Amino acid sequence: MKVGFISLGCPKNLVDSEVMMGQLVARGHELTPHPDQADVLVVNTCSFIDPAKKESVDTILEMAEYKRIGRARKLIVAGCLVERYRGDIRKEMPEVDALVGTNELSKIVALCEGPYQDNQEAESNPLEPYLYHDLTPRVLSTPRHFAYIKIAEGCDHPCTFCVIPQYRGKFRSRRFESVISEATRLFQQGIREINLIGQDTTCFGEDFGMRDGLAILLERLAQIETPREKWIRFLYAYPNKVTQRLLDTIAAHPALVKYMDMPLQHASAPVLKRMKRGASGDIFLKLLERVRRTIPGVAIRTSFIVGFPGETEQDFEELCQFVQAARFDNMGVFAYSDEDTSRSFALDGKVDGRTIQNRKRRLMAIQRKVAKARNRAMVGAELPVLVEGLSKETDLLWEARLATQAPDIDGVTLINDFEGSEPQPGEIRRMRITEAHDYDVVGTLLEPSEAAPGYAPAPLIHIAL
């Protein structure tokens, strides 16, 4: 049987898709990136905010056409949209044959192989301790030189704008040695960069009674022996969980990239209080100063929400001033989405859509100037980059990433010339920055300092989604 997967949303969702694909491959089924060739189609959905919900619904309807006029005989919907709207999907989308919630991934094989039988509500069993471990079959869908490892599931933070805990459950860490074992195997198979993910990676190990669990995990990962240079980063740090030991650990190990992804959400104390986040812009500035003092050359990424209920012009002006002062390397801005099951849905002081979009544009304009100035300061520098491959825009350029650029969410580094051998995806080489743009930089790749990757055959199949 051929199965086609479409994975939407964040890297955490992508890992769920890779786990489901792994289970199907272990049963002897074939994966295909071509929906017109699939016997079964699986859409792993996201429903975090309105645009994500719309994309999920549109994709489901698009895949339903392949079932109507093509080879596909079954359409399965998985993921976050199922957790939030299971009943609505059954009622309004008869084209969908089966549903898989975020804690029901082990059902995917039976649902693909068996007859339609998803006519009851989700089982009321408690959440599984964790969704996958180092021995769980998994098919990587990322390029062959980097991978994600999910180290935790769920979240215990009470953020009023967020609905993730409602369908991902309470925070639970993966077993320490399970993460080490999977990372070791991935490095042995040629992976150059591992990105640790979870709703809040900085809480790793707390449910096991570990203190500074993430710092201890990073230290162990950095000590894994590999024949060539490796990069390790973690994403989604909660600001009040960033300890000095964590910062010292990042600073001490070359394999731990000098990069912090720390969503702050806002800088106005009244808005942060309504978000149930706490803190203030002044507190954050002190934290940023401590991060930069401890980790020389660190790049800091953050994200903000504009238009949160009750956000006044004064609150927004405070946020703008904060962004100018903080000088972030990378930043994302989200327009507040009024989700009907979030706690913020009941708050008063809703901001109109036009004002929200204007505030988003203004904040990004401030950051654009900051990013361009930072990029200009890099011209002439020689820095290591991880070669990705030919540019998606033109065959005349190659793409790479600095250690300060996380995959898919930050800018890219473009290669317009190279010395010595032609670039190979997965190489880590030095590059001389020659041009700076708003979010991207351009440069010349220098002579390779290592042999080409030469990947060994890997039991984990690679497939493009």
CATH of the domain at 433: 2.40.50.140
Position 76 scores a pLDDT of 97
Taking 90 as the threshold, does the pLDDT of residue 114 lie above it?
no
Contacts of 370-374 with CB under 8 Å at 24 or more apart are 370/323, 370/324, 370/327, 370/328, 371/329, 371/330, 371/331, 371/411, 371/438, 371/439, 372/436, 372/437, 372/438, 372/439, 374/327, 374/329
In a domain, 7, yes or no: yes
Identify the domain boundary among 362, 378, 394: 378
In a domain, 122, yes or no: no
In this structure, are 36 and 100 located in the same domain? yes
Q: Computed from CA positions of residues 174, 177, 182, 184, in that sequence, does the dihedral angle turn out positive or negative?
A: positive
Q: How many domains is the chain built from?
A: 3
In a domain, 231, yes or no: yes
In this structure, are 156 and 251 located in the same domain? yes
In this structure, are 369 and 388 located in the same domain? no
In a domain, 105, yes or no: yes
Cβ contacts of 370 within 8 Å, gap of 6 or more: 323, 324, 327, 328
Strand 30-31: give its sheet, edge to edge: 30-31, 2-7, 40-45, 74-79, 98-100
How large is the average pLDDT for residues 187-199?
Answer: 96
Position 58 scores a pLDDT of 95
Q: What is the mean pLDDT of the chain?
A: 91
pLDDT band at 454 (very low <50, low <70, confident <90, very high): very low
In a domain, 55, yes or no: yes
Taking 80 as the threshold, does the pLDDT of residue 450 lie above it?
no
Identify the domain boundary among 96, 113, 130: 113
How large is the average pLDDT for residues 46-70?
Answer: 90
Strands 2-7 and 30-31: parallel
How large is the average pLDDT for residues 249-271?
Answer: 98
Among residues 267, 263, 273, which one has the least CA distance to residue 349?
A: 273
Give residue-wise pLDDT tens across range 419-445.
Answer: 988 999 999 999 999 999 888 899 999
In this structure, are 345 and 391 located in the same domain? no
In a domain, 352, yes or no: yes
In this structure, are 53 and 163 located in the same domain? no
Identify the domain boundary among 113, 136, 166: 113
Taking 50 as the threshold, does the pLDDT of residue 452 lie above it?
no
In this structure, are 400 and 349 located in the same domain? no
In this structure, are 197 and 324 located in the same domain? yes
In a domain, 460, yes or no: no
pLDDT band at 392 (very low <50, low <70, confident <90, very high): confident
Position 266 scores a pLDDT of 98
In this structure, are 276 and 154 located in the same domain? yes
DSSP string, 261-304: E---B-S-HHHHHHTT----HHHHHHHHHHHHHHSTT-EEEEEE
Beta-bridged to residue 172, according to DSSP, are: 153
Position 295 scores a pLDDT of 98
In this structure, are 167 and 315 located in the same domain? yes
Give residue-wise pLDDT tens across range 356-384.
Answer: 999 999 999 999 999 999 999 999 999 99
In this structure, are 100 and 151 located in the same domain? no
* Residue range of the domain that includes 51: 2-113
In this structure, are 358 and 408 located in the same domain? no
Position 132 scores a pLDDT of 85
Taking 70 as the threshold, does the pLDDT of residue 456 lie above it?
no
Give residue-wise pLDDT tens across range 321-333.
Answer: 999 999 999 999 9
CATH of the domain at 198: 3.80.30.20
Position 131 scores a pLDDT of 66
Taking 60 as the threshold, does the pLDDT of residue 460 lie above it?
no
The proportion of the chain whose per-residue pLDDT surpasses 70, expressed as a percent, equals 93
Position 50 scores a pLDDT of 84
How large is the average pLDDT for residues 211-237?
Answer: 96
CATH of the domain at 96: 3.40.50.12160
Taking 50 as the threshold, does the pLDDT of residue 239 lie above it?
yes
pLDDT band at 395 (very low <50, low <70, confident <90, very high): confident
Give residue-wise pLDDT tens across range 139-162.
Answer: 999 999 999 999 999 999 999 999
Distance CA 159, CA 277 (A): 6
Model pTM above 0.85: yes
Q: Which residue has the higher pLDDT, 126 or 72?
A: 72
In a domain, 77, yes or no: yes
How large is the average pLDDT for residues 50-73?
Answer: 91
In this structure, are 156 and 98 located in the same domain? no
Position 465 scores a pLDDT of 57
